[in-house]
Amino acid sequence: MTLTLFPGRATLGDLEQIWRSGIAVRLDDSALPGIEAAAELVRQAAAGDAAVYGVNTGFGKLASVRIKPGDTAQLQRNLILSHCCGVGEPLDVATTRLMMALKLLSAGRGASGITWKTLSVIEAMLAKGVTPVIPSQGSVGASGDLAPLAHMAAAMIGEGEAMLDGERMPAMQALERAGVEPAVLAPKEGLGLINGTQFSTACALTGYFSAIRNLEASVVSSCLSTDAIMGSTAPLEAGIHEFRGHRGQIDIARAMRAVMAGSEIRESHREGDTRVQDPYCIRCQPQVAGAALDILRFAGRTLEIEANAVSDNPLVLVAEGKIVSGGNFHAEPVAFAADQIALAIAEIGAISQRRVALMVDPTLSFDLPPFLTPAPGLNSGLMIAEVTTAALMSENKHLANPCSTDSTPTSANQEDHVSMAAHGARRLKRMNDNLNVIIGVELMCAAQGVEFRAPLTTSPALQGALALIRSEIATLTDDRFMAGDIARAAALVAEGRVQGECDVATLIAGEAA
């Protein structure tokens, strides 16, 4: 199966499908005229006398050096090889493939001067499973993601390394084995391939997709925790949230009402409950998760725009018949979006961790046994699982410090203000991995707490979630080796299974309200 992309019109849903499914990608044929018109303008400039940056000049601080017409092809190859300076762990295959698709989208707008023939090499690599090995460190987010994209372009011309069928090998070997003809770069094509924000944007997008999934899981975990401590659902009443007016808060409260509907536990203490108010981590979940949802939606829209953007330099303005230098490679919008996503991840984890702490603390957990073990003292129960969530919560707080406020001059001060978007985007995976665990442990604690309320049962929706949890993680009786339980709980969250059990995405969207 192949997904056809229409440059300028790709949706977040399209991009998530590329990342999660590994689907092949191609540009729609309607992009061909614009692509070739831009390439023709570049060919004319390369044969002309006027200096055009990156076509017949050097790069960066060397832009004043003219290149002879006969050397323009070598210029592009040299550019790719000299910029392959990335270090660190390779970017994962799924995110690398998304990055490649983003480059197709950008060049497909017909303003980069990259030929259809060269772009077809990216399409063929995606179809045949040839994935460049992209070191994850080396970009400062301007002048584009130069080093990571250079490693991608190097694989296209048979240099560097690539993955094929799970094996790492020289790129030329991978291309030959897959039957893909390597690219031969025309004027400006090397520059067009490495100049842009596709590495940062791909990493930020995957961070966004995972954060949304974590947010949805937190709706389930917070509802289950509310029943575990026999908390009130009065703070979920629609009128409260309508008076505040924030869309995310309204949506989260509506979803929580639906997920908790029909809970016997809640009905058992609706009358005569002496508690006037629950702690904030229970009472304010719509306000906190709702604010996170609002900021994630804003960041997602920013990244959707950037995914469809032309972000290299110079740009070929076909209608005006000229090639113009600009600054679309500066990834400040991506950096801001990544910082916003990081804040949301940190806060979703912070309030989830407080619910974990609430449930294991016998002075706060409303008749639940200490550390949720039926035999406290001899057994420690979920004592240290809570400590793990505290450690990961604090780590995420540290990681949430903004990256976009940092900058350092590079390239002999020609590139004197940079975005650090790559730093901001790369850390999101680590933060989401931490959040998977925090929410996973909350689910373990809440499941244990709800079971202590038997014979009363939780809501039908949450009973389904509880059954799923118990299919992977047994009820904790005597102490046992728990690392595997935590890993399985985190996987339930990361894979979208527990939130899918309650159809939270639909409930948040309001389609089943």
Does residue 47 share a domain with residue 28?
yes
User: Which whole number is the average pLDDT over 134-145?
Assistant: 94
Spatial distance between the Cα atoms of 347 and 78, rounded to a whole number of angstroms: 46
Query: How many other C-beta atoms are found inside a 10 Å radius of the C-beta of residue 49?
Result: 8
Distance from first CA to last CA of the chain, Å, rounded?
A: 34
CATH code, 269: 1.20.200.10
Question: Token digits for 236?
Answer: 């979920």
| Count: domains in the chain | 2
The answer to whether the CB of 171 falls within 8 A of the CB of 155 is yes
User: Which whole number is the average pLDDT over 177-204?
Assistant: 96
pLDDT, averaged across the chain: 95
From 15, 38, 52, 53, active-site residue: 53
Give the model confidence (pLDDT) of 319-334 as tens digits.
999 999 999 999 999 9
CATH code, 34: 1.10.275.10
Query: How many other C-beta atoms are found inside a 10 Å radius of the C-beta of residue 62?
Result: 12
The answer to whether the CB of 46 falls within 8 A of the CB of 187 is yes
Give the model confidence (pLDDT) of 466-498 as tens digits.
999 999 999 999 999 999 999 999 999 999 999
Does residue 57 share a domain with residue 131?
yes
Cα dihedral 477, 483, 484, 485, rounded to 10, equals 40
Q: Which domain holds residue 327?
A: 204-509
* Bridge partners (DSSP) listed for residue 25: 3
Does residue 247 share a domain with residue 168?
no
Does residue 469 share a domain with residue 493?
yes
Q: What is the DSSP letter of 66?
A: B
Say which residues have a Cβ less than 8 Å from residue 60's Cβ, sequence separation at least 6.
143, 411, 412, 414, 415
> What would the 3-class secondary structure string for 196-245 be?
CCHHHHHHHHHHHHHHHHHHHHHHHHHHHHHHHCCCCCHHHCHHHHHHHC
The answer to whether the CB of 343 falls within 8 A of the CB of 349 is no
Domain boundary among the residues 136, 163, 196 is at 196
pLDDT of residue 270 exceeding 80? no
Spatial distance between the Cα atoms of 37 and 32, rounded to a whole number of angstroms: 8
Give the pLDDT confidence score for residue 66 in this predicted structure. 81
Does residue 448 share a domain with residue 314?
yes
| Type of residue at 396 | N
The residue with tokens 């799923």 is 468
- Residue scoring higher pLDDT (37 or 70): 37
Spatial distance between the Cα atoms of 356 and 365, rounded to a whole number of angstroms: 10
Cα dihedral 38, 44, 49, 54, rounded to 10, equals 40
Does residue 211 share a domain with residue 177?
no
Q: Is the pTM of this model over 0.85?
A: yes
- Residue scoring higher pLDDT (513 or 501): 501
> What would the 3-class secondary structure string for 123-157 be?
HHHHHHCCEECCEEECCCCCCCCHHHHHHHHHHHC
User: Which whole number is the average pLDDT over 412-435?
Assistant: 94
| Range name among 334-343, 437-446, 503-512 with the lowest pLDDT average | 503-512
Domain boundary among the residues 136, 165, 196 is at 196
Does residue 110 share a domain with residue 18?
yes
Say which residues have a Cβ less than 8 Å from residue 164's Cβ, sequence separation at least 6.
128, 129, 130, 131, 174, 177, 178
The model's confidence at residue 413, banded by pLDDT at 50, 70 and 90, is: confident
Does residue 370 share a domain with residue 462?
yes
DSSP, collapsed to helix, strand or coil, labels residue 164 as strand
Q: 368-387: b or e for each residue (b if 16 or more CB lie within 10 Å)?
A: bbbbbbeeeeebebbeebbe
Of the candidates 318, 311, 393, the one whose C-alpha atom is nearest the C-alpha of residue 355 is 393
User: Which whole number is the average pLDDT over 260-274?
Assistant: 84
Domain boundary among the residues 196, 227, 250 is at 196
If you compute the radius of gyration of the chain from its CA atoms, what whole number of angstroms results? Answer: 26
- Residue scoring higher pLDDT (485 or 513): 485
Spatial distance between the Cα atoms of 102 and 198, rounded to a whole number of angstroms: 6
Percentage of the chain exceeding pLDDT 70: 98
Q: 310-339: b or e for each residue (b if 16 or more CB lie within 10 Å)?
A: bbbbbbbebeeeebeeeebbbbbbbbbbbb
Give the pLDDT confidence score for residue 512 in this predicted structure. 40
Does residue 140 share a domain with residue 59?
yes
Does residue 150 share a domain with residue 232?
no
The answer to whether the CB of 172 falls within 8 A of the CB of 158 is yes
Does residue 447 share a domain with residue 388?
yes
Does residue 416 share a domain with residue 305?
yes
Say which residues have a Cβ less than 8 Å from residue 365's Cβ, sequence separation at least 6.
229, 358, 359, 449
The answer to whether the CB of 419 falls within 8 A of the CB of 335 is yes
> Is residue 208 annotated as a catalytic residue, yes or no?
no
Q: What is the DSSP letter of 185?
A: P
DSSP, collapsed to helix, strand or coil, labels residue 4 as strand
pLDDT of residue 272 exceeding 70? no
Strands of 38-148 (E only): list them. Answer: 87-90, 131-132, 135-137
Q: What is the DSSP letter of 392?
A: H
- Residue scoring higher pLDDT (251 or 56): 251
pLDDT of residue 366 exceeding 80? no
